[in-house]
Structure 1
Amino acid sequence: MNKTDLVAAIAERTELSKKDAEKAVKAFTDVISEELANSGKIQLVGFGTFEVSERPEREGRNPKTGEPMKIAASRTPKFKPGRVLKDMVNN
């Protein structure tokens, strides 16, 4: 499912126009992105949790030359599914 399919499905289930459903999807993704950019956490009970994971600096290897190299510390978004979502997927 891509964004267009998601917007159409939300519009159908909520009886909103596709234009309003697209605004809702955009607002949802914008709010999550902004919160994660500020190192926040979004918890949707029954669905899951969006949060930021900190990766420390580490040593890796250049795959071409095999030379050791430093990989800089970084932050990455992470999603942990809730129990209800896990149960839905597994049944």
Structure 2
Amino acid sequence: MIRSELIQKIADEHELNLNQAERIVNTIFEEIIDAMSSGDRVELRGFGAFSVKQRDARTGRNPRTGESVEVEEKCVPFFKTGKLLRDRLNDN
């Protein structure tokens, strides 16, 4: 499912126009992004939890040349599935 399909499904199921459904989806995504940017964890019970993990600086390799490259430390998004989602995926 892509973003536009999600917007269409919300609009159809809740009798909203596309602009209203799009504002809802955008607000949810923006709030998740803002929380994670602040270092907060976002938990959606039954679905999963979004968090930020810190990756340390390291020495990597350029796969094309084999040359060593210094990779800076960085933050990456991490998603851990909730029990309800895991159970639903494995019951099929």
Alignment TM-score, normalising by the size of structure 1: 0.92
Structure 2 unmatched ranges of 5 or more: none
**Identical aligned pairs, as a percentage?**
35
* Offset, 1:60: 0.9
Q: CA RMSD in A?
A: 1.1
Shift of residue 14 of structure 1?
2.1
Return 5+ residue gaps in structure 1 as ranges: none
Aligned residue identity for 2:22: E
1:75 alignment counterpart: 75
- Count of residues in correspondence between the two structures: 91
Q: CA deviation at 1:79?
A: 1.0
Map of 2:87 onto structure 1: 87
Structure 2 residue 31 is the aligned partner of structure 1 residue 31: yes
Give the equivalent residue in structure 2 for 1:51: 51
TM-score relative to the length of structure 2: 0.91
SS of residue paired to 2:66 = coil
The CA deviation string for residues 30-78 of structure 1, in whole angstroms up to 9 with x for no partner, is 0011111111111111110011011000111111221222111000111
Distance 1:78 1:14 in 2: 30
Letter in 1 for 2:63: P
